Structure 1
Amino acid sequence: PYATRIRYSLGELLKKWGYHTAFFHGGNNGTMLLDSYASQAGFERYYGRKEYPHPHRDYDGTWGIWDGPFLQFCAQQLGQLPEPFCAAIFTLSSHHPYAIPTEMRGRFRGGPLPIHASVQYADWALRAFFAAVETTAWAQRTLFVLTADHTGPSEEPYDPARVFQVPLGFYVPGKALPLCAELASHLDIVPSVLHAIGYPWGVPVWGRSVWDTTAERWAPQKPLPLFFQAVGPEGRATFSPHEGVRFLRWGAPQPDSLKPKWVAEWLTYLADYGAWIEGRSEIPEQGP
């Protein structure tokens, strides 16, 4: 049941608006149930290692197809999709064990941690992807969203808030989008995309468009199974069944009883999230 009952996915919303949808991941089909998730989330076509034309030649030995050749495959397939379309690409080469193709070893300077060279390879692959597509007519009509699903190993001291800090960027080739340097989270991706493309209907999703200057800014995080937190401009709020709600201002040693307005909004989100999780885990009764 956890791969179903998805609410307001971008693929489903845009498919109903007449968009063609596709999901790309170079891993073995079935890995992490991504193909099942993509179908439930409204993505009509799925391109995995099985659909890739050289599944053995370009296999990394662990996860799937190297980012370099797979992103070039994505570029070719995107150019053949009927417009308008919405596509998601989930890369894999910057994941543990942080390998890079044998023929490219020594090309990247690397760093103190194994992940550094693999991230440099992934960056090179992404540059090559944009070099292949950004001058095409379809790409110049396309909003690209770039983000990461989680952080990785770091030399920095552990920080309970920064451990979730990932990039989020929006890009249209040849166009300057309004600059937004405010706090944002993955929750803000769907409303931001819908805002940017002029989606005509309201959608009751959590999160706010990054270009909405009136919105309260906070980012939810879940470090442990029964421990929740959110960060905002003023500090970090936490909730656990044992301690309840606490708010710590940045740089302050003790919790503050005065909480910003966004903390109440985050707690409402937590209640809604809990109800959704409970509903997803219900096992339907079977008939005789």
Structure 2
Amino acid sequence: MSHSSPLAGSTGPLAGSTGPLAGSTGFSAPRIRLWLTCILVFIGIAALTRLALSIWIGLDTPGSMLSILSAWPAGLLDDLATALVLGLPFLAGLYLLARPLNWRIGRPLAHLLLLVLTGVAVFSAVAEIFFWNEFNSRFNGIAVYYLIFPKEVIGNIRESFDLRIYLPPIILVAALIYLLMRPRLRAALAMPPVRGEWKAALRAGALASLLALPAMALGPFEPAVERNVNELAVNGIHSLLRAALTNDSKYDGVYAGMPEAEALPLVKAMVRQDNTTPLVPADARSLLRRVDNSQGRDLAAAKKLNVVLILEESFGSVYFEDVFQDKQRDYARTVSPNWHRLAEQGLLFTNIYATGDRTVRALEAVFTSFAPIPGISTARRAGSEDMHSLPFQLKAQGYRSQFLYGGPTNFDNMGHFWQSIGFDSVLGQNDIKDRGFKTIWGVADEYLFKEALDRIDAMAGQPGPFLFSMLTVTNHRPFLYPEGRIAQKPSPNERDNSAAYADWALGQFIDAARSKPWFDDTLFVMIGDHGPKVWGAAQIPVQAFRVPLLFLAPKHLPAARNPMLGSSLDVTPTIMGLLGLSFDSPFFGVDLRHVPEGGGRIAMAHNFDVAVGDGKHAVVLTPKGDLRGYSMQVGAHQLEPAKDVPELIRKQAVAMTQTAHRMFYAHQYHEK
């Protein structure tokens, strides 16, 4: 017996023998109705998320209402396209699994699956709000990295938020949506498929998805000038999928390019200094040059000094504005009194910008002096093994090396990266003897530094100089630290209090090190990996990239403050220069002390955009091939759109990024 359909009659919108979903014996409406309902629910949840973010942006950016409204049409189109593409497997499952879904165990599983999918959709929307609060962005590559490490993410959520407050409303909303959809699911399961119907339905679903794909592929659409408003024009799930699929995105054909014969001289000129001599032909895709540091050595002439390099998690210029701006401040009230105190005793660079807003990007820049390329850091890419680096350079000079991390070394591929760029040994939280206080990210800074003192003592007891590096973790959400360490909380902001604890732990470490016999023969290098938070409407939110950089060796290096514009790319060449060690360098970074007055440049990556600036202007490369010009003021919180950007900086931005990308994938920036 054939089964009739509510849509099979002459009045149905999909009825008739010529309709795209028509079968030879009629069409079963319940399955299509359920599919369409799921699509509408997806779009509705996405629209509510966009509304919440629109209100947020409107409060943060007064006068942006017209820009916000301009982003809605593109955003709703992206929601629909994403729903159709993701909905195709669901539609296929309704037909291809029709019989198993009607088995005794199949029906409960179908209801459970619908409830779970609804819960995931609601949870994702709430997670987007929290992600926006932290990163001022839709789901991006950072979210992808976190999903790779669910243990750390779940632990971070549990320690940062009281799930007893947030989970019940999420469960309640998901349950209500499920209850509204349950009758349609029952009807869909109860209606046997009509002969030939599944082919027609899947053809229609596939056609809808095929029509939706161009809308997804041509995005993200950018109807506004403000970066954060343009985020509204994207669906969060689409943004997440795009980040997951394109982290290793190609450069040529996607970003602005130029003939290599024109690009190479530009990049080589950017790294040329008064103490360098090229070692390769002008047309070679290489920056290899001899750096002569034999003249005017600043540090011990007769002895190679040890190096202790400290990367401070999320320690940006926001904690240092008074020093950078030459303002007086009450040290008892600042969140960073120890950084302030140490800055008066060493060589402080006040206009340094990180190359990204992720720790792995800092590892790439500080240790390999490699220019940022679009997408993820090379520390997370296949092929990063044996990149030229500070450990390799110092090893050639007779140094031993060790890296100590307060967290698990498998996170973000960091442990493998450190080993692959020449560190003799890599230690993580499981190697720390006293783990008196820890969060999901690792041990509190004071316990990291306590372990570091013991490890450095052991290295100093052996002949020859050494490089000892470490990465802290405390100044990171959930911003938890041992009680009773800072006399009073200097701020109602939990992030500032975590920074104050990190500063306290650093001060304790340096003070303890002063009593060690190796202190006088050691160069301490301290730098923030990136700023504490990305926010604002700028395409590249520069306030999140500015970091303090301090070199401390009281017996050898006079205290000074240097305002030279520079990058975390420049840390390794500057260390080699301060040590007075000549070397052959392929680095994109330069010795900051050899940059002429008024010179200097920065390079920064934010998601899939890369910016190169000279302190007066900046150019942003986007994955649509655009070159966007901005005026730049060192220390300002954002780049201002500008049309009169010099052609040279435009060409330099393309030349540096294109050359770095090609060198990496051609294995031309490697020791072996």
TM-score band w.r.t. shorter chain? 0.7 to 0.9
Note closer, same or farther for the CA distance 1:138–1:244 as it changes in structure 2 (3 Å cut). same
Q: Which residue of 2 aligns with 1:84?
A: 465
Q: Which residue of 1 aligns with 2:548?
A: 167
Q: Distance in 2 between matches of 1:269 and 1:190?
A: 18
Q: Distance in 2 between matches of 1:8 and 1:194?
A: 14
Note closer, same or farther for the CA distance 1:260–1:6 as it changes in structure 2 (3 Å cut). farther
Note closer, same or farther for the CA distance 1:158–1:182 as it changes in structure 2 (3 Å cut). farther
Residues 3 and 40 in structure 1, CA contact (< 8 A), matched pair in contact too: no
Matching of residues 14-25 of structure 1 within 5 Å: 14-25=394-405
Please list the CA deviations of residues 124-155 of structure 1 after superposition, one character each: whole Å capped at 9, or x if unmatched: 0000000011243322222211112221148x
Q: Which residue of 2 aligns with 1:203?
A: 585
Letter in 2 for 1:169: L
Q: Which residue of 2 aligns with 1:93?
A: 474
Letter in 1 for 2:571: I
Aligned counterpart for 1:61 among listed residues 439, 442, 450: 439
**How far 1:32 moved relative to its partner?**
2.6
Q: Distance in 2 between matches of 1:84 and 1:202?
A: 20
Residues 3 and 37 in structure 1, CA contact (< 8 A), matched pair in contact too: no
Letter in 2 for 1:274: H
Aligned counterpart for 2:632 among listed residues 244, 250, 263: 250
RMSD: 2.5
Q: Which residue of 2 aligns with 1:285?
A: none
1:79 alignment partner, SS class: helix
Please list the CA deviations of residues 12-32 of structure 1 after superposition, one character each: whole Å capped at 9, or x if unmatched: 111122101000112124233
Note closer, same or farther for the CA distance 1:250–1:214 as it changes in structure 2 (3 Å cut). closer
The answer on 1:127 being equivalent to 2:510 is no
The structure that has the greater radius of gyration is: 2
Aligned counterpart for 1:12 among listed residues 365, 370, 392: 392
Note closer, same or farther for the CA distance 1:3–1:35 as it changes in structure 2 (3 Å cut). farther
- Count of matched residue pairs: 275
Q: Distance in 2 between matches of 1:248 and 1:28?
A: 40
Please list the CA deviations of residues 184-206 of structure 1 after superposition, one character each: whole Å capped at 9, or x if unmatched: 11100111011111222220211
Please list the CA deviations of residues 51-89 of structure 1 after superposition, one character each: whole Å capped at 9, or x if unmatched: 11134xx24131111101220220121122133001111
Aligned counterpart for 1:176 among listed residues 546, 552, 558: 558
TM-score, with normalisation over the residues of structure 1?
A: 0.85
Note closer, same or farther for the CA distance 1:263–1:87 as it changes in structure 2 (3 Å cut). farther
Residues 219 and 230 in structure 1, CA contact (< 8 A), matched pair in contact too: yes
Q: Distance in 2 between matches of 1:250 and 1:110?
A: 32
Please list the CA deviations of residues 102-139 of structure 1 after superposition, one character each: whole Å capped at 9, or x if unmatched: 344x7332424211111000000000000011243322
**How far 1:277 moved relative to its partner?**
4.6
Q: Which residue of 1 aligns with 2:449?
A: 71
Matching of residues 258-269 of structure 1 within 5 Å: 258-259=645-646, 261-269=648-656
Q: Report the more deviating stretch, 61-70 or 236-245.
A: 236-245
Q: Distance in 2 between matches of 1:158 and 1:108?
A: 34
Aligned counterpart for 1:222 among listed residues 598, 605, 612: 605
Q: Which residue of 2 aligns with 1:102?
A: 483
Q: Distance in 1 between matches of 2:506 and 2:402?
A: 19
| Larger helix percent | 2
Identity, % of aligned positions: 20
Residues 108 and 120 in structure 1, CA contact (< 8 A), matched pair in contact too: no
Higher relative CO (CA 8 A, sep ≥ 6), structure 1 or 2?
A: 2
Note closer, same or farther for the CA distance 1:253–1:195 as it changes in structure 2 (3 Å cut). closer
TM-score, with normalisation over the residues of structure 2?
A: 0.38
**How far 1:163 moved relative to its partner?**
2.0
**How far 1:253 moved relative to its partner?**
5.8
Q: Distance in 2 between matches of 1:253 and 1:25?
A: 38
Q: Distance in 1 between matches of 2:470 and 2:417?
A: 14
2:505 alignment partner, SS class: helix
Note closer, same or farther for the CA distance 1:39–1:212 as it changes in structure 2 (3 Å cut). same
**How far 1:261 moved relative to its partner?**
4.3
The answer on 1:270 being equivalent to 2:657 is yes
2:592 alignment partner, SS class: coil
Q: Which residue of 1 aligns with 2:428?
A: 48
Q: Distance in 1 between matches of 2:383 and 2:515?
A: 37
1:21 alignment partner, SS class: strand
Note closer, same or farther for the CA distance 1:96–1:228 as it changes in structure 2 (3 Å cut). same
**How far 1:242 moved relative to its partner?**
2.5
**How far 1:211 moved relative to its partner?**
0.4
Letter in 1 for 2:611: Q
Residues 24 and 74 in structure 1, CA contact (< 8 A), matched pair in contact too: yes
Q: Distance in 1 between matches of 2:492 and 2:664?
A: 40
**How far 1:177 moved relative to its partner?**
4.8
Q: Distance in 2 between matches of 1:269 and 1:166?
A: 22
Note closer, same or farther for the CA distance 1:4–1:51 as it changes in structure 2 (3 Å cut). same
Residues 631 and 645 in structure 2, CA contact (< 8 A), matched pair in contact too: no
Q: Report the more deviating stretch, 119-128 or 41-50.
A: 41-50
**How far 1:266 moved relative to its partner?**
3.5
1:130 alignment partner, SS class: helix
Aligned counterpart for 2:575 among listed residues 183, 189, 193: 193
Show structure 2 runs of 5+ residues with no match. Answer: 1-380, 634-638, 668-672
